[in-house]
Structure 1
Amino acid sequence: MTKFTYEQKLAAVKLYLEGQSSGEIIKKFNIGEHAQLLF
C-alpha cells in the first residue's frame, strides 16, 4: 500500500477544500483507490 507523507495529505485536503473534484485529486497524486484513506 502507498504511504503518504503529512505534506501530501495536507495538500490533498487543501485541494479538496478548495472545491477540486475527487478525480482531479486522484490524478494529481496518482493514488487511485487509496485516495479514500485520506478522507
Structure 2
Amino acid sequence: MDPDARDRDVRAQGGLSARFHRETSHRNSTVPRAFAAAIS
C-alpha cells in the first residue's frame, strides 16, 4: 500500500472518528438533561 493512500485512509478515519465523538458528546450532554426534565 502506498503512503499517499494510507495517509488518505488515516485522514478519512480521523474525520469519521472526530464526527462520531462530536455527535456522541453532544448526545451525552443533551439526553441526561431531557431525561431529568422528564422525570422531575
TM-score where L is the length of structure 2? 0.37
Larger radius of gyration: 2
With a CA cutoff of 8 Å and minimum separation of 6, indicate the structure with the bigger relative contact order.
1
Q: Which has the higher helix share?
A: 2
TM-score where L is the length of structure 1? 0.38
